[in-house]
Amino acid sequence: MKTVEGGVCAAKGFTASGIHCGIRKSRTKRDLALIFSEKPASCAAVYTTNLVKGAPLEVTKSHISDGIAQAVICNSGNANTCNSDGIEVAEKMCDLLANELMIKASDVVVASTGVIGQKMDITPIKNGIPRLVSELSPYGNENAAEGIMTTDTVKKELAVSFEIDGKSCTIGGMAKGSGMIHPNMATMLVFITTDAAISPKMLKKALSTDIANTFNMVSVDGDTSTNDMVTVLANGMAGNRLIDSDGPDFDAFMQALNTITVSLCRMIAGDGEGASKLLECKVTGAADKQTAKTVAKSVICSSLLKAAMFGADANWGRVLCAIGYSGADVDVNKIDVAFRSNQGTIEVCKNGAGVDFSEEKAKDILLQKEIDILVELNSGKEEATAWGCDLTYDYVKINGDYRT
């Protein structure tokens, strides 16, 4: 498996585009994105667990009930959520795009991100779709990745090539997500494309299995949004034998998918609103998988720990505190904690108690951009990883006037 260029356009048969159509006030920011497969593709998606769901999610869920899609349209700047005509607007987006692409409206995935509860005018989208389609390109991945950004500071995309059944396959993805990010499913939109041939049933199984250990293990601020969705399209143009059951081919696909999702998780967490550091909590030695996941998520979600990481303060007591209220059944007298970065590793807790350590070395380690929080439970062989970021002054600044 190797990294390749192209993001969502890296796989055979996929093109993309991104334009500014007028949803967002700033003309320098793209606000409408499109991904298109020249052939109908197997499609699977997972959605936010929030009871309040954006209209595009409801429309997409209906459209891909047959497991097939051919295009994805996504706007930024307006979430199209809590609007009386939200479903109508989302369906209209699909109709307009389908007419321009000459495909079925029911084969369009639609997504929106931005302000919740703001009435959405279809006019700029209607006027922008002809240009959006005309600018489709096998090199349009970066424009599309930019078109779905809101408070993101960087584009998030990746692609890898891998082999199935002796055929070279490619999988690529792009994501947006910076704030309102918390398991299960965060305020993220993730679009993944692949030319591997896989049935809708197995694609759904792959995605549902993967997100339990990837996107559902990311937290920036503890808020679960209304428009979160991860979608995968597989058009089969690599020519491999159809993956329609478990086995080595499915395992190879899962590994490639996981490579993309883990990388996007790290990008999303590292670009959390106002964040200056990516935090990765790795829990080992758990009695069972659920315990490991519960502990990892609790640590990464602790506002006190996140603030300590911002200040490069090795306040390991906040790690134990987060484990203690997590609800996980652990023996606190067996827990070891260490901090690690490219400046080294330092042990700060052994068997649930503090150990002597150099505060200067700890600070050097915690001043880095990427920090690992290592928790050893010494109670078994299971492990889990969660991703998050530090909590900074800028988070409040960004969200204090997000709407205005």
Rounded Cα gap, residues 164 and 194, in angstroms: 12
User: 148-171 pLDDT, tens per residue?
Assistant: 998 788 899 999 999 999 999 999
pTM of the model: 0.85
Rounded Cα gap, residues 384 and 293, in angstroms: 5
CATH number for 125: 3.60.70.12
Residue 186 has pLDDT above 50, yes or no: no
User: 251-290 pLDDT, tens per residue?
Assistant: 999 999 999 999 999 998 888 766 789 999 999 999 999 9
The overall average pLDDT reported for the chain is 92
- State whether 209 and 255 are in the same domain: yes
- State whether 189 and 325 are in the same domain: no
Look up residue 210 and give its amino acid: D
- Which one of 214, 244, 270 terminates a domain? 270
For 108-126, what is the mean pLDDT?
Answer: 92
Cα-only R_g, the chain: 22
- Which one of 253, 270, 287 terminates a domain? 270
User: 292-334 pLDDT, tens per residue?
Assistant: 999 999 999 999 999 999 999 999 999 999 999 999 999 999 9
pLDDT at 170: 98
Higher local confidence (pLDDT), 150 or 206: 206
* Residues in a beta bridge with 385: 282
- State whether 366 and 264 are in the same domain: no
Percent of the chain clearing pLDDT 90 (strictly above): 76
Residue 91 has pLDDT above 90, yes or no: yes
- State whether 27 and 174 are in the same domain: yes
> Which pair of tokens denotes residue 374?
């290592």
- State whether 119 and 167 are in the same domain: yes
- Taking residue 102's Cβ as centre, other Cβ atoms within 10 Å add up to 7
Residue 185 has pLDDT above 50, yes or no: no
- State whether 297 and 240 are in the same domain: no
- Which one of 270, 296, 325 terminates a domain? 270
- State whether 249 and 351 are in the same domain: no
- State whether 243 and 305 are in the same domain: no
pLDDT at 31: 96
Residue 380 has pLDDT above 70, yes or no: yes
pLDDT at 221: 55
Q: Which residues are annotated as catalytic?
A: 187
Print the domain residue range for 7: 2-270
Rounded Cα gap, residues 161 and 9, in angstroms: 12
